[in-house]
Amino acid sequence: MKPLVSMDSFNRPPLCVEVNGRLVQYLSFSRPKTAHKNPILILGGAFQKFKSFKKDVELLCDVHPVFLVDLPGQGGNDDLGDNLTFEELGDILCGFLDQVGVEKVTPVALSYGSAIGFHFASKYPDRTDKLILGGTTPEVRESVRLLLEESFTSLSEGKMERFSAGVVLNLLNFYRRHEIQGAELLQKGLYKNMLKLDAADLVRYEINTRRLLDLHDLPTGPTCETLVLVGEYDNFTTPAECFSVARLCENSTFGIISNTDHLAPYENKKLVNKLYKKFLAGVPINGTTGVKVFNKAEYPVTLQRLEPRYEIDDISFIEGAGSFYPVNIVNISTAGVMLDKSLSGDIPINNRDLKIRLPFNDLELDIFLVDEREDTVRGIFKRYHLGKARELEEYVRFVAGQSNGFCNAA
């Protein structure tokens, strides 16, 4: 591997190789004292490009060589990776290692990139030294699926402000922003960056998101040492979902990073890279300030639900198909509501254009209805308006102050 020790390399065109007719772009960094070690290979998430990892390279290349890799569909790669599966992307990654003459790597695979890293390490154990996964999931849960599909509607209708706000409200935990250092700055920056995406970036987003929505039935987990990290308030890939991936791995360590969400590697970069270094050096991360470590048998059931639901008994209305349907709100969180629909008769559950009127400042929110039962139905609030997110937050805080406590229903 050609040593590239200057940070100026981020301003140069990336290196390129072709693997089975597909383009792979990369940058490589190493120091003479560590050039003999197996490299770290960073696979980023949605919207991340090489410059996103400049600080990580500075912190990590003193202990291992570092590769930044854009497979088809990632970062600034013009090959959008149409119709490729995560397994096929793992195959391309293996072919890339052959091209550049690297035997083993430790993938640091984050968010969307975690599915690639998992498939690669599972299929190619002889090419994997260790594995680090961040913000991962075995499959996209129903509520997130609906919200991501809604983002396609915003794009198709050219509603970029709605799309951009939706990305912010999906990827970051808006309602925990006061507990996360720098969260509001990150939210504002992400929103502005989404508004600047060009046509190719938007196509890449839709292709990659549809690939993520197709993620089901992960293969047998990796056998190598694996570190799975997640933000305490990650509401995109929750701690429970990340833990379920950790349980699939034969030799895993699972850590929850305090006071962070899905963007934990940005919100506490110093701690995250400290955990990477400890893991790479074979030093247990237990006892490190800012991270809680759990083994496969002790993950607390209380953490299965990220946001508390508060009991409430109030009448509201669902509006759709030109009609109003009275419902009783049973409990509410910032994510959605449980409704008793026995007052209303037949609500058009499958209608994607439903609204709910909450008894608070005449607040009206778009809503999906799912999990219909004999008398109840669950509602998921659509997320695409920052102002309404603040109003909802205010209402839920009010309910929390009046409530008898959390609702224990699943």
Question: DSSP letters of 63-115?
Answer: TS-EEEEE-TTSTT-S---TT--HHHHHHHHHHHHHHHT---BEEEEETHHHH
Residues 88 and 180 in one domain: no
Partners of 28 in the β-ladder: 67
235 and 101 in a common domain:
yes
171, part of any domain: yes
Residues 114 and 163 in one domain: no
Tokens of 71: 């497979």
Residues 42 and 113 in one domain: yes
Residues 265 and 172 in one domain: no
CATH number at residue 52: 3.40.50.1820
To the question of pTM greater than 0.85 for the whole model, the response is yes
Q: Is residue 407 part of a domain?
A: no
Report whether 65 contacts 1 (CB < 8 A). yes
**Residue 410 counted as domain residue:** no
DSSP 8-state class, residue 380: E
Helix axes 160-171, 142-156, angle to 10 degrees: 160
CATH number at residue 356: 2.40.10.220
Q: Examine the fold and report which residue of 270, 303, 336 is the final residue of a domain before the chain moves on.
A: 303
> Are residue 48 and residue 130 in the same domain, yes or no?
yes
Single-letter code of the amino acid located at 97: L
User: Out of 69-73, 141-145, 295-299, which region has the weakest mean confidence (pLDDT)?
Assistant: 295-299
pLDDT tens sequence across 189-241 = 999 999 999 999 999 999 999 999 999 999 999 999 999 999 999 999 999 99
Same domain, 246 and 298: yes
Using the 3D structure, point to which of 158, 183, 210 is the last residue of a domain: 210
Helical spans, DSSP H, in 133-198: 142-156, 160-171, 183-195
In a domain, 334, yes or no: yes
Q: pLDDT by residue (tens digit) across 258-267?
A: 999 999 999 9
Is the same domain home to 219 and 341?
A: no
Task: Say yes or no: 317 and 381 in one domain.
Answer: yes
CB neighbours of residue 372 within 10 Å? 14
The count of domains in the chain is: 3
Q: Are residues 239 and 378 in the same domain?
A: no
| Tokens standing for residue 97 | 């290692």
Would you say residue 1 lies in a domain? no
- Tell me, yes or no, whether 158 and 181 share the same domain: yes
Q: DSSP string covering 232-292, please?
A: TT-SSS-HHHHHHHHHHSTEEEEEEETT--TTHHHHTHHHHHHHHHHHHTT---TT-TTEE
Q: What is the mean pLDDT of residues 298-319?
A: 79
Pairing of strands 131-134, 66-70: unpaired
| CA max distance for the chain | 73
Q: In this structure, is residue 113 part of a structural domain?
A: yes
Which of 287, 303, 319 is a domain's end point?
A: 303
Domain membership of residue 202 as a residue range? 142-210
Same domain, 167 and 122: no
Q: What is the pLDDT of residues 140-189, one digit of tens each?
A: 999 999 999 999 999 999 999 999 999 999 999 999 999 999 999 999 99
